[in-house]
Amino acid sequence: MTVWNALICVTFVMTFVVAVGRVNGALPANYMRMSANQKQDVLWKQVLRNPYPMNRLPTVGPTAANFSKLFVPAFLKTSFTWTGDEMPPGRARILHNYGVVCKVDLDVFSDSPFSGVFSTGGVGVLRLSLAQLSNDSFPVGVALKILVDGRNSQNFVLVNTVEGQGTNRNFFAKTMRNIFPPAGPYGRELNPAEKAFQQAIFENLPGGPLDHPADFNNVPLYEQAAVGSDGRNVSTVVAPYEISLRPNPALAYDENDPADFRRHLVAIPAGTLLYTVAVKRTLDEDDGTVIGQLTSRSAMVASPYGDEVLFFNHAKKAWQA
């Protein structure tokens, strides 16, 4: 091999590593101090750096070694304690490993009686994913990150049920909530993964009873109500008990379409109303109050950055009246 050929090879390998291998964006040193809009730009540049070609969407599931971590409370605990917008170094996303992301605006109506992000709204990123790729179930999940000026982001992780929608493959068939019914018949014994989650919440998180969620199927909303997207602390926190993202019915598609869900999602243009946002103030409220809407502000993109690096903290502080 000539020197010239060797050089071409090396350059090719390096280009490949830069373009495809480097998914870990390592945010700039001053990232935390940036405005919400600047942070959104930084994250979005990372997403756009190396999107998956649509004819080569990855489908490989997590390794057994990674999967076994779902039974380790100390591993699960990090979902609550890590507050960054990127994964802790070396951490793999085990569930919801494939999805698409887009930039979003959360617009909250000016008459919202709630505080913090439930009053200011904000800009952020939305990730739409499946807990796992399967032909037998369609376990939709949505993660919303509202970026905050100079402070940690505020995050929401929402599902309808963990089991999914059976064979209904329409991503927009069901309302997404922060509180979901435990899978299976009421009163059944928790499975080992659920038990590990309970242990992570009740034994591994520091603090008192209000410093952890009330249950493993309830990702609470106190923290998001305690700070606005302008970074200001709220003096009197008024937190909803439950949030629902109700899909825009116009986005529904054939529930029997076997195509990869990501193909449907990337066809949704910027500026689309995705979800109407409704909340309940307390457990006893029967109907939710619509307080705003969530609109896409970019195309939806499938990328290794969105799948492997972007992180959505699970809020931990329990709801309070």
Q: Interface residues with ligand NAG (CB under 6 A)? A: 62-63, 65-66, 92, 97, 133-135, 233
The 3-state DSSP class for residue 158 equals strand
Closest to ligand NAG by CB, 85 or 247:
85
Q: How far is the CB of 76 from ligand NAG (least distance, A)?
A: 16
Per-position DSSP letters for 172-191, written without gaps between them? TSS-EESB-PPSSSTTPPPP
Q: CA-to-CA distance for 218 and 241, rounded, in angstroms?
A: 9
Strand duo 242-247 + 176-177: pairing? antiparallel
Give the list of residues 6+ apart from residue 129 with CB closer than 8 angstroms, or none: 96, 97, 98, 99, 100, 140, 141, 142, 143
Q: How far is the CB of 66 from ligand NAG (least distance, A)?
A: 4
State the CB neighbour count (10 A cutoff) for residue 86: 19
Q: CA-to-CA distance for 38 and 42, rounded, in angstroms?
A: 6
Find out whether 36 and 147 touch, Cβ atoms under 8 Å.
Answer: yes
Q: How far is the CB of 1 from ligand NAG (least distance, A)?
A: 31
Closest to ligand NAG by CB, 35 or 66:
66
Closest to ligand NAG by CB, 54 or 270:
54
Which segments of the chain are extended strands (E)? Answer: 98-108, 122-130, 140-148, 151-159, 176-177, 242-247, 273-280, 289-296
Q: How far is the CB of 187 from ligand NAG (least distance, A)?
A: 32
Closest to ligand NAG by CB, 47 or 94:
94
Q: How far is the CB of 64 from ligand NAG (least distance, A)?
A: 9
Q: How far is the CB of 104 from ligand NAG (least distance, A)?
A: 25
Closest to ligand NAG by CB, 134 or 191:
134
Closest to ligand NAG by CB, 169 or 314:
169
Q: How far is the CB of 277 from ligand NAG (least distance, A)?
A: 24
Closest to ligand NAG by CB, 61 or 73:
61
Q: CA-to-CA distance for 58 and 23, rounded, in angstroms?
A: 14
